[in-house]
Structure 1
Amino acid sequence: MASAADQKRGHAGHGHHHHHDNVYLTSQNKNDAGVRITRIGLYSNLGMAVAKGAGGYMFNSQSMVADAWHSLTDLASDILTLATVSWSLRPPTDRFPLGFGKVESLGSLGVSSMLLFGGIFMCMNSCTSLYAQLFLDPDAAAALLEHAHHGHSHSHSHGAQGPSLHAAWLAAGTVAIKEWLYHATMKVARERKSSVLASNAVHHRVDSLTGIVTLAAILGANFLHNAAWLDPVGGLLISLLVIRAGWGNTLSALYELADKSIDSEVRQSIRQRASESLADISEGHEVEVREITGVKSGQNYLVDIELAVPNMWTIEDVRAVEDAVRTRVGAKVRGARRIRIRFVPKEAKIAGPFDEFIPGDVSQRSSPEIEHEHDHHDHDHDHDHGKKKDL
């Protein structure tokens, strides 16, 4: 296998493409696009959490108060995202030879879990309020809501009046801001193949949808007769949207931490680039791309490529092919951070999948502990047999 230095020299010929594709993985610049858009989202969530919290309290909107709490969870997730993105930019070390991509996966799991459990909390809160308004008398409803919301009696004492129409302007403003943040963050996430940035972008989209629900609940409560119950219904719908997004992102993060294989689209791109590199060298027509596997580690793809070559090839021959394939794949496939190539004889029988794994079952005779006990037993048996013989 080529050394890191060899790989670096091989990439020099395609420096522009490789730098363009993977600069986010190695840059220490805090003004990088991924870090910058996350900070913009962080400041926006902070401002909107304060504005929606104050507005929801002043304008008596339970949906907006729930939405403000959701923005606070996004604020915490933005901080976590920023920390994991910065950490994942570090290069590999002796202690962590595969880099720090899994730190980003852990960050994505944390962000998504916060979203999931936040949605569950809001769902329980909205169900309590809806039950109180629809099935209890005003005094019992006020007592239940006061207990459930830790004594925030201001919003509950005016619950029958519904939210103020002024809250609609605030809700419409948050929708516009969050839609812009979603598109800006998702653009960077797709360019960088970053799961944690994609998860954060989904947060912005969920916020936009929840803002629409909040706006509809406020308008409905104001323009429909006896429709104060629409406000907690809006909070319930918000919580269901949050739970759905949180569950999907949590599952994706768990798959990544469990080393789920890279998807077929990435494998096809790697195969295409490897074939192109083989076509550029004179010996390439004799090489066959057999198998491509790999896992995703944060923004990084850790790739294994199996190439079949003629039996008579020398180490120098395979080294030239290895450098060509690693250079082209590393330069053209965004996120391909580590590329390991395995050579097999072309004339040999094709091995089954995962043949490099050592079987997990170990027989008793191959266990050193069992062999030791067996030898000790034979020694005791021979010793007893010798005693009988002496007698």
Structure 2
Amino acid sequence: MGIIRFQILNPTRICRSTIYYMSCRYLPSSSSSSSPLRVSSSSSQKPSFDFSRRWHFGHPDHHQQYQKPGEEGEKIFRLGLTADIGLSVAKALTGYLCGSTAIIADAAHSVSDVVLSGVALVSYRAANVPKDKEHPYGHGKFETLGALGISAMLLATGSGIAWHALDLLSIALSAAPEVIHSGHHHGIDMNHPILALTVTIASISIKEGLYWITKRAGEKQGSGLMMANAWHHRSDAISSLVALVGVGGSILGVNFLDPLAGLVVSTMIVNAGLKTGHQSILELVDAAIPAQQLEPIRQTILQVEGVKGCHRLRGRRAGSSLYLDVHIVVDPFSSVSVAHEVGEYVRRQINLNHPEVSEVFIHIDPAFLQFSCSTKDHDSITKESNICQEIKHVEATVSDIFSSQLSEKLTIKRITPHLLHSKILLQIVVAMPSTMSIQDVMIAAEHAEKEILKAAPNVARVSIQLSLNSE
């Protein structure tokens, strides 16, 4: 009686009911001017899908509130979870009625998808919790841990399906075309080919659609978990396609194609688990971001006025967040306040053009002028000497030279030292008596420069400037 009751169900109506439920749950009705995607375009840019208003269209400028990225991503994870629940139920019923190993394996995969989607949703929520005292760098690692958990479940599911498929394949190759095992028919029931094909095709379509929706949002938010979930949807679509091949083979009487298809599906699941797990482990151990991914950020930095160059650009991921540190090169004679402002402008430009960057640490280096001292030499010299004491000693030497040899000609008003590759550059502002000629000042300044360079070998250059201010 149970089989007869299921036979009168329309498979198309089942699929439509599932899709209708998903639409009612996540997509507002057309009367409220809603749509999953809005395409925006301009004359200078390629059309792109705008996910900041994913559920609104028709009047894009009439809404005052925009969905936050966290709420936006959570809706997509919920959509995937609902789809996985509907597909797992449909596939389980279809596989039981049709006796298809491939569809049963695909149903088991969909059941694991429900767990994986739940883990992804919980991880995404935890990762989007604001920074707090206990987690000053945010909770992005929870997203990475969720992706690692997904990979472990994928490996376990794929291994189980492979074991079952190998067992059935050995039976199919060594026995008659139809094998009865524990009262269950391993060939496909020819009374239900339409049901099997309909559910399998519907699964392919739904999963492929979820792949594109999740992928677009993942690219926009820079979420590794969301991108992994997107490819997981794509692998589900492909696995259902392989199951479709198995169903077709059983319909045609080639029974070994059914367990063989299940084996191929399991291989794909294991492969997806290995890739996701490898990427998650790299994030957990703070592996470096590939140089090609950092190159656009480097170009953004170099376009800032006042930046002479940048080096030691490094990055690490924590879920969808990217943390950077970089050394930028500025004019060595810039004041501290100007150099700081250049660094802050670099920070603002990075945040504006690369929203995936959560935090950037900027170290400011002076541009090296005529010195060819290597970084290794610079580090060794810095370790062996106390530069603060050296500068203090140089300033005392300069004061002694001016007081002993030029006290009647020039008076020191200010000494500004600069450090380049452990070499000291001096800017000295002096005042002169009103009775002294400019030519005499130039001669005195040249004499002072020679005496300073002779007395202080760690001074590479001396620049003496005349102040006309009497104060």
TM-score class, shorter-chain normalisation, is 0.7 to 0.9
How far off its partner does 1:291 sit? Answer: 2.5
How far off its partner does 1:93 sit? Answer: 2.1
TM-score (normalised: structure 2): 0.62
CA gap of 1:233–1:257, structure 2 versus 1, over 3 A, is same
Is 1:165 matched with 2:193?
yes
Residue in 1 aligned with 2:172? 133
1:66-112: per-residue Cα shift (whole Å, max 9, x none)?
Answer: 10110011111111111111111122222222111111111111112
Is 1:77 matched with 2:104?
no
Is 1:234 matched with 2:240?
no
Is 1:195 matched with 2:227?
no
SS in 2 for 1:307: strand
Q: Compute the RMSD of aligned alpha carbons.
A: 2.7
How far off its partner does 1:265 sit? Answer: 3.0
CA distance in 2: counterparts of 1:319 and 1:69, whole angstroms: 58
CA gap of 1:250–1:275, structure 2 versus 1, over 3 A, is same
2:101 to 62, 84, 91: 62
1:305 to 302, 323, 326: 326
Q: How does 1:279-298 map to 2 (within 5 A)?
A: 279=305, 284=306, 287-298=308-319
1:22-48: per-residue Cα shift (whole Å, max 9, x none)?
Answer: 99xxx9959832111111110010011
Percent pairwise identity:
27
2:375 to 351, 364, 368: 351
Q: How many residues align?
A: 312
Q: How does 1:32-181 map to 2 (within 5 A)?
A: 32-136=71-175, 153-155=182-184, 158-160=185-187, 164-166=192-194, 167-181=196-210
After the TM superposition, which of the residue ranges 44-53 and 89-98 deviates more from structure 2?
A: 89-98
1:166-191: per-residue Cα shift (whole Å, max 9, x none)?
Answer: 31121111111111111111111111
How far off its partner does 1:162 sit? Answer: 5.8
CA distance in 2: counterparts of 1:126 and 1:255, whole angstroms: 32
- AA paired with 2:309? E
Residue in 1 aligned with 2:455? none
- AA paired with 1:214? A
CA gap of 1:67–1:182, structure 2 versus 1, over 3 A, is same
CA contact (8 A) 1:21 1:332 kept: no
CA gap of 1:306–1:161, structure 2 versus 1, over 3 A, is closer
- AA paired with 1:101? G
1:342 to 359, 363, 367: 363
CA gap of 1:261–1:84, structure 2 versus 1, over 3 A, is same
- AA paired with 1:317? V
CA distance in 2: counterparts of 1:268 and 1:30, whole angstroms: 25
CA contact (8 A) 1:273 1:329 kept: yes
CA distance in 2: counterparts of 1:31 and 1:331, whole angstroms: 18
How far off its partner does 1:159 sit? Answer: 2.1
TM-score (normalised: structure 1): 0.74
Gaps of 5+ in 2: 1-49, 54-65, 380-471
CA distance in 1: counterparts of 2:238 and 2:346, whole angstroms: 45
CA gap of 1:214–1:154, structure 2 versus 1, over 3 A, is farther
Residue in 2 aligned with 1:250? 277
CA distance in 2: counterparts of 1:329 and 1:30, whole angstroms: 19
After the TM superposition, which of the residue ranges 323-332 and 214-223 deviates more from structure 2?
A: 214-223
CA contact (8 A) 1:291 1:305 kept: yes
SS in 2 for 1:32: helix
The structure number with the bigger radius of gyration is: 2
1:285-333: per-residue Cα shift (whole Å, max 9, x none)?
Answer: 6x32223111111111100010123444332122111111101111111
Residue in 2 aligned with 1:322? 343
- AA paired with 1:105? T
> Greater helix percent: which structure?
1
How far off its partner does 1:221 sit? Answer: 1.1
SS in 1 for 2:266: helix
